[in-house]
Amino acid sequence: MLITTTEKIPGHDYEIIGEVFGVTTQSKNVFSNIGAGLKNIVGGEIKAYTKMLHEFREAAISRMADEAHKKGADAVVMMRFDSGSISTDMQSVVAYGTAVKFK
């Protein structure tokens, strides 16, 4: 599945199928939260959370691509992310875009 953040795919004409989403909401374990709390005192990157967000984005993209595939799409254009905290230890990530079918 071709996924792009651009509106146009060079060399391809396509018809729009519609919007597609991939959502994931997850939490890190208590030990990661303790480590993040300690890192918060001294400052710097919290690598466990950086890794967590990367994994969440990948899961959201995969779910979005699955939805596009189920709708018969060949690609997703204008893909974007949105994310937010639900509580102090939960994060939600959404990948969304427009599913298209090549002519």
What confidence tens digit (pLDDT) does each residue in 10-65 have? 999 999 999 999 999 987 654 455 555 555 566 667 777 788 888 899 999 999 99
9 — pLDDT class (breaks 50, 70, 90)? very high
One-letter amino acid of 3: I
Which of 42-46, 72-76, 80-84, 87-91 has the lowest average pLDDT? 42-46
Q: Is 70 exposed, middle or buried (0-12, 13-18, 19+ CB in 10 A)?
A: exposed
For residue 46, the model assigns a pLDDT of 73
pTM across the whole model: 0.81
Query: In the chain, what are the domain boundaries?
Result: 2-102
For residue 41, the model assigns a pLDDT of 60
Hey, what CATH topology would domain 2-102 get? Translation Initiation Factor IF3 (3.30.110)
Higher pLDDT pick, 97 / 26:
97
Is 97 in contact with 79 (CB distance < 8 Å)?
Answer: yes
